[in-house]
Structure 1
């Protein structure tokens, strides 16, 4: 990695079927979540010429299956340290199989963890899990924010993550597709509620407030297979930010993510 880069990122998979992203600095190689099989994550890493045996750790956001499916397998096979807060560990432990106690680490919400040359700030979000938290990665004055799986973006969260160099932001569903779709009403209520997921519109309005002069990249993530389309999510974000004169395509660029293909490694 070039020394003038703080770190590199690839969003390996993002969507309602499974989530994982890879962050690499000079000293550390980390996954955030492992919500697909170990085999699939290995395949996704190979798309960016990386291998799971070179990983150092997995950071877990919350215990839902689309975020932890491969955590136990990867931790056992490659002897990886796993970080989550206490409540998430309690919820996740029965779901991931045996992990050696020496590999289990507590990463408290609203705290900063230093791994090698990366300072990682955790912050709580509003989602129907035990104690969901997401992360802001910092090094050498550069930052990258992961923010999905939240029903709304609070003023507190906005203050923590404002003006990062790059974002993975949730654009989970199109409101009309969700309301008219086949999901049962109770599931629709869950997704639309304060502990559900950001819609395309809500994600765009949140991003409008988070953007700063440093921001260069916005990745749209956690799209629902049933209740969204990449084109709709992208158009909603683009249109909303243009309405507020935010310099789409000039000051910064929008990027799509995929549930089955890794993004290119990009430098922060």
Structure 2
């Protein structure tokens, strides 16, 4: 049994990541409508009704829009920490009590041979957290929606095989763009989002001998572009002596098109 994943959708219009190990399959966030989510699953040859459960990172709408409808329709267990459950109250409709599970920050839940580790990030939500999937010696890290990558986070996520990693904005595009200043200030803050350059600096510190891939995720539609993100990340990594394609590869993600279902 091999760990596989697909970034079904990534960006400010909606986020969802699928992870499976042959024994269990999980969806991390469902920030699109139920109908859109079902179409994305068809594109990777999977069916939502076969999911083992849903994990929530935080309560922002681009991460939870489809959580309630999918949980109710397919009777799926939903895992989130207590503060996130409270913050989602009234946003996702009723989820039956027997489908609601608490997953505390900085703990591990095991599902057969799959261990899922939660860790806190710095974002303006109730208690935002992301996940590391461990399976038969393989390690998959999912981390977006953080204003910076702390030393504590780096310790938890270091030397993974694959990463889905935030590369949200180009600082110049954001500063010169149409957003009001209070929004710009939020994005640039320690509880906002990571820029292309800061993402690359963090990547250079967490990548290890076994690291094969980074998927650049949660790109802003207004303040970033795929080519720009990749170029900025690549240049910053090269300044640290890391050549893309030699140590690891960089991949794009998309708001509407899933990445291929890939082995970790």
Give 1:14's match in structure 2, choosing from 3, 10, 15.
10
In structure 1, the partner of 2:216 is 220
The answer to whether the 8 Å contact 1:28/1:115 transfers is yes
Aligned-pair CA distance for 1:26: 1.8
In structure 2, the partner of 1:113 is 109
Distance 2:210 2:137 in 1: 10
Distance 2:51 2:135 in 1: 19
Distance 1:232 1:197 in 2: 17
Q: Deviations over 1:137-158 (max 9, x none)?
A: 0011100000100000000000
- Number of matched residues? 264
Gaps in structure 1 of 5+ consecutive residues: none
Counterpart mapping for 1:1-268 below 5 A: 3=1, 5=2, 7-268=3-264
Distance 2:55 2:137 in 1: 22
Secondary structure of 1:152's match? coil
The answer to whether the 8 Å contact 1:26/1:117 transfers is no
Distance 1:14 1:64 in 2: 14
Aligned-pair CA distance for 1:27: 1.1
The answer to whether the 8 Å contact 1:145/1:168 transfers is yes
Distance 1:101 1:119 in 2: 24
Could you list the runs of 4 or more consecutive aligned residues of structure 1 that deviate by over 3 angstroms after TM superposition?
A: none
Taking structure 2 as the reference length, what is the TM-score of the superposition? 0.99
Q: Deviations over 1:112-164 (max 9, x none)?
A: 01123210110001000000000000011100000100000000000000000
Q: Deviations over 1:166-201 (max 9, x none)?
A: 001101000000000000000000000010000111
Q: Give RMSD over aligned pairs.
A: 0.7
Distance 2:171 2:80 in 1: 32
Distance 1:54 1:224 in 2: 31
Secondary structure of 2:139's match? strand
